[in-house]
Protein backbone atom coordinates (compact mmCIF):
# COMPACT_ATOMS: atom_id res chain seq x y z
CA UNK A 1 0.00 0.00 0.00
CA UNK A 2 1.31 3.44 -0.87
CA UNK A 3 1.81 5.55 2.26
CA UNK A 4 1.02 9.26 2.28
CA UNK A 5 3.74 10.64 4.54
CA UNK A 6 1.80 13.78 5.54
CA UNK A 7 -1.22 11.69 6.57
CA UNK A 8 1.03 9.35 8.54
CA UNK A 9 2.69 12.24 10.38
CA UNK A 10 -0.68 13.77 11.18
CA UNK A 11 -1.88 10.41 12.45
CA UNK A 12 1.21 10.11 14.63
CA UNK A 13 0.42 13.50 16.18
CA UNK A 14 -3.07 12.36 17.15
CA UNK A 15 -1.79 9.00 18.32
CA UNK A 16 0.80 10.64 20.59
CA UNK A 17 -1.91 12.85 22.11
CA UNK A 18 -3.97 9.76 22.82
CA UNK A 19 -0.94 7.90 24.17
CA UNK A 20 -0.22 10.75 26.58
CA UNK A 21 -3.81 10.77 27.78
CA UNK A 22 -3.72 7.03 28.30
CA UNK A 23 -0.82 7.33 30.73
CA UNK A 24 -3.37 8.68 33.21
CA UNK A 25 -5.90 5.99 32.33
CA UNK A 26 -3.33 3.25 32.73
CA UNK A 27 -2.61 4.48 36.24
CA UNK A 28 -6.17 3.54 37.16
CA UNK A 29 -5.89 -0.04 35.88
CA UNK A 30 -6.99 -2.69 38.43
CA UNK A 31 -4.36 -4.21 40.68
CA UNK A 32 -3.30 -7.84 40.38
CA UNK A 33 -5.37 -8.64 43.44
CA UNK A 34 -8.45 -7.24 41.76
CA UNK A 35 -7.76 -9.35 38.70
CA UNK A 36 -7.50 -12.42 40.93
CA UNK A 37 -10.43 -11.90 43.26
CA UNK A 38 -12.73 -9.00 42.48
CA UNK A 39 -14.17 -9.72 39.04
CA UNK A 40 -17.95 -9.94 39.40
CA UNK A 41 -20.08 -12.83 38.22
CA UNK A 42 -23.34 -11.96 36.49
CA UNK A 43 -26.65 -13.58 35.75
CA UNK A 44 -27.74 -14.17 32.16
CA UNK A 45 -28.82 -11.21 30.05
CA UNK A 46 -32.53 -10.48 30.35
CA UNK A 47 -35.05 -9.65 27.59
CA UNK A 48 -34.64 -6.10 26.33
CA UNK A 49 -36.71 -2.96 26.79
CA UNK A 50 -36.79 0.31 24.86
CA UNK A 51 -34.30 2.80 26.28
CA UNK A 52 -34.59 5.66 23.76
CA UNK A 53 -37.22 6.10 21.08
CA UNK A 54 -38.64 8.94 18.94
CA UNK A 55 -39.28 11.75 21.50
CA UNK A 56 -36.08 11.20 23.46
CA UNK A 57 -34.15 10.85 20.22
CA UNK A 58 -35.39 14.33 19.30
CA UNK A 59 -37.45 12.97 16.43
CA UNK A 60 -34.48 11.27 14.75
CA UNK A 61 -33.60 7.59 14.62
CA UNK A 62 -30.50 6.68 16.60
CA UNK A 63 -27.81 4.01 16.56
CA UNK A 64 -24.26 3.24 17.79
CA UNK A 65 -25.28 3.64 21.49
CA UNK A 66 -22.76 3.60 24.33
CA UNK A 67 -22.78 4.85 27.94
CA UNK A 68 -20.24 7.20 29.44
CA UNK A 69 -18.07 5.81 32.24
CA UNK A 70 -20.34 7.33 34.92
CA UNK A 71 -23.47 6.00 33.15
CA UNK A 72 -25.06 9.47 33.17
CA UNK A 73 -24.65 10.14 29.45
CA UNK A 74 -25.57 8.07 26.41
CA UNK A 75 -23.74 8.76 23.16
CA UNK A 76 -25.36 7.85 19.84
CA UNK A 77 -25.12 8.59 16.13
CA UNK A 78 -28.13 10.13 14.37
CA UNK A 79 -29.08 11.40 10.94
CA UNK A 80 -30.97 14.70 11.24
CA UNK A 81 -33.27 16.47 8.79
CA UNK A 82 -30.31 17.83 6.83
CA UNK A 83 -29.11 14.28 6.16
CA UNK A 84 -25.96 14.72 8.26
CA UNK A 85 -24.85 11.77 10.43
CA UNK A 86 -23.58 13.28 13.69
CA UNK A 87 -22.67 12.35 17.25
CA UNK A 88 -25.31 13.12 19.89
CA UNK A 89 -25.45 12.82 23.67
CA UNK A 90 -28.37 12.41 26.09
CA UNK A 91 -27.98 12.87 29.85
CA UNK A 92 -29.80 11.78 33.01
CA UNK A 93 -29.53 12.77 36.70
CA UNK A 94 -28.92 9.16 37.85
CA UNK A 95 -28.97 5.60 36.54
CA UNK A 96 -32.48 5.28 37.97
CA UNK A 97 -33.81 8.15 35.83
CA UNK A 98 -34.73 8.17 32.13
CA UNK A 99 -32.51 9.96 29.65
CA UNK A 100 -33.57 13.49 28.78
CA UNK A 101 -33.69 14.93 25.23
CA UNK A 102 -30.19 15.36 23.89
CA UNK A 103 -28.09 17.52 21.63
CA UNK A 104 -25.53 17.08 18.90
CA UNK A 105 -21.90 17.48 19.93
CA UNK A 106 -20.44 20.77 18.71
CA UNK A 107 -17.75 21.37 16.12
CA UNK A 108 -15.01 20.42 15.67
CA UNK A 109 -16.14 16.93 16.79
CA UNK A 110 -19.05 16.89 14.36
CA UNK A 111 -18.22 17.95 10.83
CA UNK A 112 -21.16 19.00 8.64
CA UNK A 113 -19.64 17.72 5.40
CA UNK A 114 -18.71 14.22 6.64
CA UNK A 115 -20.45 11.45 8.63
CA UNK A 116 -19.30 10.99 12.23
CA UNK A 117 -20.44 7.92 14.17
CA UNK A 118 -19.53 4.97 16.47
CA UNK A 119 -18.61 7.17 19.49
CA UNK A 120 -16.68 5.77 22.46
CA UNK A 121 -16.41 8.13 25.47
CA UNK A 122 -13.33 7.57 27.65
CA UNK A 123 -13.23 7.95 31.46
CA UNK A 124 -11.27 11.23 31.24
CA UNK A 125 -13.98 12.86 29.10
CA UNK A 126 -12.16 12.48 25.78
CA UNK A 127 -13.70 10.64 22.85
CA UNK A 128 -12.89 8.03 20.25
CA UNK A 129 -15.12 7.87 17.17
CA UNK A 130 -15.02 7.13 13.45
CA UNK A 131 -15.40 9.62 10.63
CA UNK A 132 -15.15 9.91 6.85
CA UNK A 133 -13.78 13.47 7.12
CA UNK A 134 -10.85 14.52 4.93
CA UNK A 135 -7.35 13.95 6.25
CA UNK A 136 -7.59 10.30 7.21
CA UNK A 137 -6.02 7.28 5.56
CA UNK A 138 -7.37 7.68 2.05
CA UNK A 139 -11.04 7.95 1.07
CA UNK A 140 -12.15 5.88 4.02
CA UNK A 141 -13.78 5.82 7.47
CA UNK A 142 -11.07 6.06 10.14
CA UNK A 143 -10.73 6.17 13.92
CA UNK A 144 -10.29 9.61 15.47
CA UNK A 145 -9.46 10.87 18.95
CA UNK A 146 -10.86 14.13 20.36
CA UNK A 147 -9.74 15.64 23.65
CA UNK A 148 -12.10 17.72 25.77
CA UNK A 149 -10.19 20.59 27.35
CA UNK A 150 -11.97 21.77 30.53
CA UNK A 151 -11.24 25.42 29.68
CA UNK A 152 -11.57 25.73 25.90
CA UNK A 153 -13.80 22.79 25.03
CA UNK A 154 -13.26 20.21 22.30
CA UNK A 155 -9.92 20.25 20.52
CA UNK A 156 -9.53 19.38 16.84
CA UNK A 157 -9.94 15.59 16.39
CA UNK A 158 -6.84 13.70 15.27
CA UNK A 159 -6.80 10.47 13.28
CA UNK A 160 -4.85 7.51 14.61
CA UNK A 161 -1.85 6.16 12.69
CA UNK A 162 -2.34 4.77 9.18
CA UNK A 163 -1.29 1.25 8.28
CA UNK A 164 1.32 -0.15 8.40
CA UNK A 165 2.09 1.99 11.46
CA UNK A 166 -1.37 2.02 13.02
CA UNK A 167 -4.93 0.64 12.95
CA UNK A 168 -6.48 2.94 10.31
CA UNK A 169 -6.61 1.45 6.83
CA UNK A 170 -7.71 2.45 3.33
CA UNK A 171 -11.01 0.76 4.18
CA UNK A 172 -13.62 1.29 6.90
CA UNK A 173 -13.04 1.05 10.65
CA UNK A 174 -15.92 0.77 13.16
CA UNK A 175 -16.50 1.04 16.90
CA UNK A 176 -13.20 1.59 18.74
CA UNK A 177 -13.17 0.09 22.25
CA UNK A 178 -10.37 0.67 24.74
CA UNK A 179 -9.15 -1.87 27.32
CA UNK A 180 -6.57 -0.97 29.99
CA UNK A 181 -5.16 -4.02 31.79
CA UNK A 182 -2.02 -5.25 33.53
CA UNK A 183 -0.83 -6.36 30.06
CA UNK A 184 -1.01 -2.83 28.65
CA UNK A 185 -3.50 -0.79 26.60
CA UNK A 186 -5.33 -2.30 23.64
CA UNK A 187 -7.75 -0.89 21.09
CA UNK A 188 -10.44 -3.24 19.79
CA UNK A 189 -12.35 -2.34 16.61
CA UNK A 190 -13.49 -3.81 13.32
CA UNK A 191 -12.14 -3.17 9.85
CA UNK A 192 -12.55 -4.38 6.29
CA UNK A 193 -9.03 -3.28 5.32
CA UNK A 194 -9.02 -2.40 1.64
CA UNK A 195 -12.49 -3.94 1.11
CA UNK A 196 -14.75 -6.89 1.76
CA UNK A 197 -16.43 -7.90 5.03
CA UNK A 198 -15.57 -6.49 8.42
CA UNK A 199 -13.31 -8.42 10.84
CA UNK A 200 -12.77 -8.03 14.59
CA UNK A 201 -9.34 -6.51 15.25
CA UNK A 202 -7.04 -5.45 18.10
CA UNK A 203 -4.18 -2.94 18.17
CA UNK A 204 -1.70 -2.55 21.05
CA UNK A 205 -0.45 0.80 22.30
CA UNK A 206 3.23 1.56 21.72
CA UNK A 207 5.46 4.56 22.34
CA UNK A 208 4.22 6.33 19.20
CA UNK A 209 0.57 5.36 19.41
CA UNK A 210 -1.44 2.31 18.48
CA UNK A 211 0.30 -0.20 16.23
CA UNK A 212 -1.04 -1.97 13.15
CA UNK A 213 -4.02 -4.12 14.00
CA UNK A 214 -4.30 -7.91 13.94
CA UNK A 215 -7.35 -10.13 13.63
CA UNK A 216 -8.77 -11.65 16.82
CA UNK A 217 -8.47 -15.43 17.01
CA UNK A 218 -11.49 -17.77 17.06
CA UNK A 219 -14.23 -15.13 16.82
CA UNK A 220 -13.98 -14.07 13.17
CA UNK A 221 -15.74 -15.88 10.35
CA UNK A 222 -15.67 -15.54 6.54
CA UNK A 223 -18.74 -13.33 6.99
CA UNK A 224 -19.28 -9.82 8.40
CA UNK A 225 -18.15 -9.49 12.06
CA UNK A 226 -18.17 -5.92 13.29
CA UNK A 227 -18.48 -3.32 16.06
CA UNK A 228 -16.87 -5.01 19.08
CA UNK A 229 -17.26 -3.70 22.62
CA UNK A 230 -15.62 -5.14 25.73
CA UNK A 231 -16.14 -5.01 29.47
CA UNK A 232 -13.57 -2.83 31.21
CA UNK A 233 -11.54 -5.90 32.29
CA UNK A 234 -11.39 -7.11 28.68
CA UNK A 235 -12.83 -10.55 29.53
CA UNK A 236 -16.23 -10.22 27.85
CA UNK A 237 -16.99 -9.01 24.34
CA UNK A 238 -20.16 -8.31 22.37
CA UNK A 239 -20.29 -7.60 18.66
CA UNK A 240 -22.62 -7.69 15.65
CA UNK A 241 -22.43 -10.32 12.91
CA UNK A 242 -24.46 -11.62 9.98
CA UNK A 243 -22.91 -15.11 10.25
CA UNK A 244 -26.35 -16.62 10.94
CA UNK A 245 -27.65 -15.22 7.62
CA UNK A 246 -24.60 -14.27 5.52
CA UNK A 247 -24.91 -11.36 3.14
CA UNK A 248 -28.44 -10.49 4.24
CA UNK A 249 -27.52 -7.28 6.03
CA UNK A 250 -29.41 -8.70 9.03
CA UNK A 251 -27.07 -8.51 12.03
CA UNK A 252 -27.47 -10.31 15.37
CA UNK A 253 -25.62 -9.62 18.62
CA UNK A 254 -23.01 -12.16 19.70
CA UNK A 255 -21.24 -12.65 23.03
CA UNK A 256 -17.86 -14.24 23.83
CA UNK A 257 -15.74 -14.45 27.00
CA UNK A 258 -12.28 -15.54 28.10
CA UNK A 259 -10.57 -16.47 31.37
CA UNK A 260 -7.73 -13.94 31.07
CA UNK A 261 -6.68 -11.01 28.91
CA UNK A 262 -3.96 -13.11 27.23
CA UNK A 263 -6.25 -15.98 26.17
CA UNK A 264 -8.45 -16.22 23.08
CA UNK A 265 -12.20 -15.72 23.34
CA UNK A 266 -14.67 -18.57 23.57
CA UNK A 267 -16.95 -19.64 20.73
CA UNK A 268 -19.45 -16.76 20.36
CA UNK A 269 -23.09 -17.19 21.45
CA UNK A 270 -25.94 -15.55 19.54
CA UNK A 271 -27.62 -13.39 22.21
CA UNK A 272 -30.34 -12.17 19.83
CA UNK A 273 -31.62 -15.73 19.58
CA UNK A 274 -30.69 -17.17 22.98
CA UNK A 275 -32.07 -14.41 25.25
CA UNK A 276 -34.04 -13.77 22.94
CA UNK A 277 -34.29 -10.07 22.13
CA UNK A 278 -37.60 -8.61 20.98
CA UNK A 279 -35.85 -7.38 17.83
CA UNK A 280 -34.65 -10.85 16.83
CA UNK A 281 -35.34 -11.22 13.12
CA UNK A 282 -34.49 -7.56 12.60
CA UNK A 283 -30.98 -6.13 12.46
CA UNK A 284 -29.29 -5.26 15.76
CA UNK A 285 -26.04 -3.31 15.68
CA UNK A 286 -23.27 -1.73 17.77
CA UNK A 287 -23.89 -3.45 21.12
CA UNK A 288 -22.01 -2.04 24.11
CA UNK A 289 -21.71 -2.99 27.79
CA UNK A 290 -21.76 -0.45 30.62
CA UNK A 291 -18.65 0.07 32.70
CA UNK A 292 -20.20 -1.76 35.68
CA UNK A 293 -21.13 -4.68 33.42
CA UNK A 294 -24.83 -4.57 34.24
CA UNK A 295 -26.33 -3.02 31.09
CA UNK A 296 -26.15 -3.90 27.41
CA UNK A 297 -27.41 -1.35 24.89
CA UNK A 298 -27.82 -1.72 21.14
CA UNK A 299 -29.59 -0.11 18.21
CA UNK A 300 -32.28 -1.56 15.95
CA UNK A 301 -34.54 0.22 13.49
CA UNK A 302 -33.54 3.66 14.81
CA UNK A 303 -34.52 2.77 18.41
CA UNK A 304 -32.12 2.17 21.31
CA UNK A 305 -32.73 -0.94 23.42
CA UNK A 306 -31.33 -2.06 26.77
CA UNK A 307 -30.85 -5.50 28.33
CA UNK A 308 -29.98 -5.93 32.02
CA UNK A 309 -28.22 -8.53 34.14
CA UNK A 310 -27.57 -8.77 37.87
CA UNK A 311 -24.33 -9.21 39.74
CA UNK A 312 -24.31 -12.49 41.63
CA UNK A 313 -22.69 -13.34 44.95
CA UNK A 314 -19.62 -15.53 44.59
CA UNK A 315 -18.34 -17.78 47.36
CA UNK A 316 -14.62 -17.24 47.95
CA UNK A 317 -12.77 -20.41 49.03
CA UNK A 318 -9.46 -19.87 50.83
CA UNK A 319 -6.69 -22.31 50.00
CA UNK A 320 -2.94 -22.37 49.43
CA UNK A 321 -3.24 -20.65 46.06
CA UNK A 322 -5.78 -18.09 47.31
CA UNK A 323 -5.20 -17.49 51.03
CA UNK A 324 -7.20 -14.25 51.13
CA UNK A 325 -10.65 -13.18 49.98
CA UNK A 326 -12.16 -9.74 49.35
CA UNK A 327 -13.01 -8.04 52.64
CA UNK A 328 -10.37 -9.87 54.67
CA UNK A 329 -8.68 -7.61 57.21
CATH topology of domain 5-312: Tachylectin-2; Chain A (2.115.10)
* pLDDT on residue 5: 42
User: What tens digit of pLDDT does each residue of 127-165 get?
Assistant: 999 999 988 887 789 999 999 999 999 999 999 999 999
pLDDT under 70 in the chain at which residues?
1-39, 55-56, 59, 313-329
* pLDDT on residue 61: 81
* pLDDT on residue 12: 52
* pLDDT on residue 33: 37
* pLDDT on residue 15: 55
d(CA 223, CA 246): 6
CB 22 within 8 A of CB 185: yes
Distances (CA, A) of 155 to 13, 21, 64, 205, 267: 13, 13, 22, 22, 41
* pLDDT on residue 96: 93
- Chain-centroid distance of CA 78 in Å reads 17
Alpha helix ranges (H) inside 142-274: 271-274
Q: Give domain limits for the chain.
A: 5-312
* pLDDT on residue 197: 92
d(CA 249, CA 252): 10
Amino acid sequence: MKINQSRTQKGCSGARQLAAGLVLLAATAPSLAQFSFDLPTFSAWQPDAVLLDGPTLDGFGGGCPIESADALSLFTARTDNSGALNLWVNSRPSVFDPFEPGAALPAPVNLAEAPDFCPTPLPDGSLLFVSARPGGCGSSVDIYYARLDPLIGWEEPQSLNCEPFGPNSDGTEFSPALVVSREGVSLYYSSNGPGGDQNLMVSDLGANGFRSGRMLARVNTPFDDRQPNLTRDGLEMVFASDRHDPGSGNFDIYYASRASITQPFSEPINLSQSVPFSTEGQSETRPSISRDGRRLVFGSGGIIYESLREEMDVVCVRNALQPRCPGDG
